Amino acid sequence: MKSLKVLLLVLAYALICSNAYAEEKQYFQNRIDKLENRVEELESEKSRNSSSTQFSRGLSSSSSTATGVSRTFNPAISVNGLLLGTYTDQGRDDSSREVKTGMKIQEVELRFTANIDSYLHGDLTIAFEGDEVEIEEIIASLLATNNLSFRIGKFFTPFGKHNQLHTHAFPFIDAPLINEEILGEEGINEVGVGAALLLPTPWFSEIDLLMLEGENDLFNGPLNDDFLYMIHLKNLVELTDELTAELGGSFAYGRNDLVNGAYNSTKLFGADLTFKWKPSGRELYRTLIWQTEFIQSSRDVDKKGFYSLVQYQFARRWWAQGRYDFFTIPRDTVGGGGEVAQDKNRYAALVAFAPSEFSALRLQYNFLDQSAAENEHQVLLQLNFTFGSHPAHKY
Amino acid sequence: MKPLRSIKFIITVFCFLYPSIALATINVVATTQDIASIVKEVGGPLVKVNVIAKGYQDPHVIEAKPSFMLKVNRADLLVYQGLELEVGWLPMLIQGGRNKNVLPGRSGHLDVSSVITPMEIPVGEVDRSMGDVHPLGNPHYHLDPGNGLLMADIISDRLTQLDPANASAYKTNLENFSKRLKDKIMAWKTRMEKFQGMKVITYHASWSYLLRFLSIESAGTIENRPGIPASGRHLSELATIMKQTNIKIILQANYFEKEYSNLLAGKTNGEVVVLPVSVGGVEDAGDYIALFDILINKLENTFSKI
């Protein structure tokens, strides 16, 4: 430190004394600027605390040796809240309905994330919904080689696009019909192990293989002394700097609790296609997303359907969105399982105002055109907010 | 085969292979084009540089595209600006990139801000009610060309560490670049000397380092707080300041919308000067030095008119 300052003085002295050429002057001026920068930098490093990896001799670090109380290795924590107001023109007398007029806490999520040690990374998401508390995700993940990673725990499985999302990241306030009707209210959220391999292709291509406990509405692994097996393939191509196309395919196979003959295995197929566009230099103000997903299940009856949605950001803080949902249980497969053949169409429109990346107010209108029940109009209003550590955004 | 012959054979093979090992290019991923430009200057033909955020894009709002993960996956060296500039997307790219070489703490992971003295480190508690505050300081430090010298130094150090066989090439490239940049710095300073002490209004705190370099003062930002659009009241306060202190110039990055700046300029007879923030921000800003040539040209022209 001192010697640097002395050096500086000497250089400054030399500069004043020399009536040498302009070139030399310039050279010294530059040296001084650079040295000044270095001095400032050293000084700031000295005053900077734990954020740098260099050791500091601050009081807090030494006292934790004795007290054992240190916040240094706490995980990054964030909280997400979803507050929901609903109006529906149906089922005022039916208290068992999922969607009914009123206000509620749709969900509160608590997220923790940290590196466990040199090998493992940990994630925990706890969800509070009504008076239920659920471990939504607990994951230990390991980067094995440069292309292969493993995860163990409980998580939203990569069956299609939407099933992987936490409620606060849903593009609409509610889940698509196919996710609700086929995969169930909770989606396929399972305990198990997964291996994801990045393929050596010129575009992004990832294959995900999973072995899961398989205990939900669709599957019953434990009953059969077996597991649920899942494979997911994700491809993403950058068509231009502004436009990407993503194509995914999913397949899941497992035994279920239907013991009578041919129906005791469940098969799920899924396919998804997403285009995402953001104009160059106007990323802050415009986005267009078009996402379509198809899911089919073969169990006691066949169920299938798709949704197609468009999300358009038309100003820095504003989004306009539309979605069409179709779900069907075809007539010809009915029998045995007790499900009645039906069709459902849902049309949804949404406007969102997002004053910052940490909060959004969203208003959604649904029209349900269904064969098995009365047609229904719904209006949903949601406040979605996050506080705590800055979450990185999934694409 | 006799032992001696086989040893000879191995040596011969090694001699053929060795130069190709030494000349293999280093695959670099740079988060911004400014860093990419300096890496190219220092690495020359020994490096291949991929860039994530283009100069015409707001680096705060880049998305973690899987195609970027692929670039990170195939990189020997990841170089980034730091100070939380890339916090919204770089963690996803590193996680999705699955490349052990570029994980924090490895030799393939370089946070350039480690050699910079950041400006505008907030004092005291910060929270999100203050907008998008950067708790570690203003991350747009590449806009002080003096920092460019430091950036080149640390990049050259790291390339040398990764590829010691070409140490002399990196040293020569660094010296050439630093010499050119230093000469330019003196020239830019001389040209802008007469405008020292002048005041401007800026849209976002993008320009703090450039203004410090030129000894020009910012009298306020159009954004109420970082990342928060202006309110009517804030704009009229700015208009008052501009009229009282006779400020005529509003500086803004080309990736922000101009409606607020134009509104304020209309109220005050001022002029909105739209500038590129990064290399590649406009077509002619092909490298780090060219970016400053453009910035200085434009500023000199504008200030001279007033």
Distance CA A37, CA B11 (A): 48
Q: What is the three-class DSSP state of B262? A: helix
Cα of B237 to nearest chain A Cα, Å: 22
Mean pLDDT of A281-288: 92
Q: Tell me: pLDDT of A283 over 70.
A: yes
Mean pLDDT of B277-299: 95
Cα separations (Å) of A316 from A290, A311, A352, B61, B253? 19, 14, 11, 11, 16
Q: Which residues of A touch B65 (CB under 8 A)?
A: 236, 238, 244, 395
Do residues B162 and B215 share a domain?
Answer: no
The residues facing A252 across adjacent strands are A230, A268
Q: Give A340's pLDDT tier (boundaries 50, 70, 90).
A: low
What's the domain range around B172? 3-184
Q: Is B67 on the interface with A (CB under 8 A)?
A: yes
> For testing the chain B interface, which of A33, A54, A385 should be mutated: the one with the most B CBs within 10 Å?
A33
Distance CA B174, CA B44 (A): 10
B253, B143 contact by CB (below 8 A): no
Q: Give A60's pLDDT tier (boundaries 50, 70, 90).
A: very low
Which chain A residue shows the shortest CA-CA distance from B150? A34
Nearest to A345 by CA among A306, A310, A378: A306
Q: What is the pLDDT of residue B153?
A: 96
Do residues B117 and B196 share a domain?
Answer: no
Does A369 or A49 have the greater pLDDT score?
A369
Domain with B27 in it: what CATH number? 3.40.50.1980
Q: Do B61 and A284 touch (CB under 8 A)?
A: yes
Q: Give the per-residue SS3 of A157-218.
A: CCCCCHHHCCHHHCCCCCCCHHHHHHHCCCCCEEEEEEEEEECCCCCEEEEEEEEECCECCC
Q: What is the pLDDT of residue A225?
A: 81
Do residues B161 and B293 share a domain?
Answer: no
Q: What is the pLDDT of residues B101-144, one digit of tens each?
A: 999 999 999 999 999 999 999 888 888 888 888 889 999 999 99
Q: What is the pLDDT of residues B21-56, one digit of tens each?
A: 444 799 999 999 999 999 999 999 999 999 999 999
Cα angle for residues B129, B135, B140 (degrees, 5° grid):
110
> For testing the chain B interface, which of A25, A32, A37, A139 should be mutated: the one with the most B CBs within 10 Å?
A37
Do residues B171 and B194 share a domain?
Answer: no
Least confident of A86-95, A297-306, A340-349: A86-95
Task: For chain B, positions 156-215, list CB contacts with chain A under 8 A.
Answer: 182-183, 185-186
Q: What is the pLDDT of residue B301?
A: 93
Q: Tell me: pLDDT of B295 over 90.
A: yes
Q: Give A262's pLDDT tier (boundaries 50, 70, 90).
A: low
Least confident of A56-60, A305-309, B225-229: A56-60
Q: What is the pLDDT of residues B171-185, one digit of tens each?
A: 999 999 999 999 999
The residues facing A360 across adjacent strands are A384
Which chain A residue shows the shortest CA-CA distance from B281? A281
Q: What is the pLDDT of residue B3?
A: 54
Q: What is the pLDDT of residue A360?
A: 96
Which chain B residue shows the shortest CA-CA distance from A391? B88
Strand A204-212, strand A189-198: pairing:
antiparallel
State CA A154 to chain mean position distance.
Answer: 15
CB atoms within 10 A of CB B189: 17
Q: Which amino acid is at A84?
A: L
Cα separations (Å) of A287 from A243, A317, B281? 10, 11, 20
Q: Cα(first)–Cα(last) distance of chain B, in Å?
A: 86
Nearest to B86 by CA among B131, B30, B47, B128: B30
Q: Do A387 and B87 touch (CB under 8 A)?
A: no
Q: What is the three-class DSSP state of A346? A: strand
Q: What is the pLDDT of residues A123-136, one digit of tens each?
A: 999 999 988 999 99
Give percent above pLDDT 70 in chain A.
82
Q: Tell me: pLDDT of A328 over 70.
A: yes
Q: Give the per-residue SS3 of B93-134.
A: HHHHHCCHHHCCCCCCEEEHHHHCCCCCCCCCCCCHHHCCCC
Domain boundary among B184, B203, B227: B184
Q: Give A69's pLDDT tier (boundaries 50, 70, 90).
A: confident
Question: How many residues can be counted in chain B?
Answer: 306
CB pairs under 8 A between A and B: 118
Q: Which residues of B touch A198 (CB under 8 A)?
A: 70, 73, 98
Q: Which amino acid is at A151?
A: R
Task: Out of B61, B98, B101, name the one closest to residue A149 (CB).
Answer: B98
Domain boundary among B184, B209, B234: B184
Nearest to A387 by CA among A16, A111, A56: A111
Average pLDDT, chain B: 90
Domain boundary among B143, B163, B184: B184
Q: Which domains does chain A have, with CATH numbers?
A: 2-67 (no CATH), 80-388 (2.40.160.10)
Cα of B182 to nearest chain A Cα, Å: 7
Q: Which residues of B touch A27 (CB under 8 A)?
A: 182
B75, A121 contact by CB (below 8 A): no
Burial of B43: CB neighbours in 10 Å, binned 0-12, 13-18, 19+: buried
Strand B271-275, strand B249-253: pairing:
parallel
Mean pLDDT of A41-53: 51
Do residues B24 and B132 share a domain?
Answer: yes
Q: What is the pLDDT of residues A148-180, one digit of tens each?
A: 999 999 999 999 999 999 999 999 999 999 999
Do residues B95 and B27 share a domain?
Answer: yes
Distance CA B265, CA A177 (A): 51
Burial of B51: CB neighbours in 10 Å, binned 0-12, 13-18, 19+: buried
CA dihedral B227, B231, B233, B239 (to 10 degrees): 70
Do residues B201 and B290 share a domain?
Answer: yes
Give percent above pLDDT 70 in chain B.
92
Which chain A residue shows the shortest CA-CA distance from B131? A356
Q: What is the pLDDT of residue B201?
A: 94
Nearest to A165 by CA among A116, A198, A127, A220: A127
Least confident of A63-67, A215-219, B220-224: A63-67
Q: What is the pLDDT of residue A19?
A: 44
Q: Do A283 and B58 touch (CB under 8 A)?
A: yes
Distance CA B88, CA A358 (A): 12
Q: Tell me: pLDDT of B156 over 60.
A: yes
Nearest to A216 by CA among A272, A141, A270, A156: A156
State CA B234 to chain mean position distance.
Answer: 29
Task: Please count the CA atoms within 13 angstroms of the CA of B195 that sit on its side-chain side.
Answer: 24
Q: Give B15's pLDDT tier (boundaries 50, 70, 90).
A: very low
Cα of A216 to nearest chain B Cα, Å: 29
* Helix ranges restricted to H, chain B: 3-23, 33-43, 66-73, 90-97, 145-162, 167-192, 208-214, 232-244, 259-268, 288-305
Do residues B69 and B152 share a domain?
Answer: yes
Which chain B residue shows the shortest CA-CA distance from A237? B67
Strand B26-32, strand B77-80: pairing:
parallel
Q: Do B54 and A280 touch (CB under 8 A)?
A: yes
Task: Out of B65, B99, B100, name the one closest to residue A238 (CB).
Answer: B65
Token pair listed for B191: 């040209």
Q: What is the pLDDT of residue A44?
A: 61
Q: What is the pLDDT of residue A249?
A: 97
Which chain A residue shows the shortest CA-CA distance from B132? A356
Q: What is the pLDDT of residue B45?
A: 95
Do residues B108 and B211 share a domain?
Answer: no
Number of domains chain B contains: 2
Distance CA A39, CA A9 (A): 13
Do residues B85 and B221 share a domain?
Answer: no
Q: Give A54's pLDDT tier (boundaries 50, 70, 90).
A: very low
Token pair listed for B168: 């002399």
Task: Out of A149, A204, A234, name the one closest to residue B70 (CB).
Answer: A204
Q: Tell me: pLDDT of A21 over 80.
A: no
Distance CA A256, CA A329 (A): 19
Task: For chain B, positions 102-141, list CB contacts with chain A under 8 A.
Answer: 103, 105, 114-118, 128, 131-132, 136
Q: Give B305's pLDDT tier (boundaries 50, 70, 90).
A: confident
Q: Which residues of B touch A148 (CB under 8 A)?
A: 98
Do residues B206 and B124 share a domain?
Answer: no
Token pair listed for B1: 């085969």
Task: For chain B, positions 78-107, list CB contacts with chain A under 8 A.
Answer: 84, 87-92, 95, 98-101, 103, 105
Do residues B54 and B112 share a domain?
Answer: yes
Q: What is the largest CA-CA distance in chain B?
A: 93
Token pair listed for A354: 């997002």
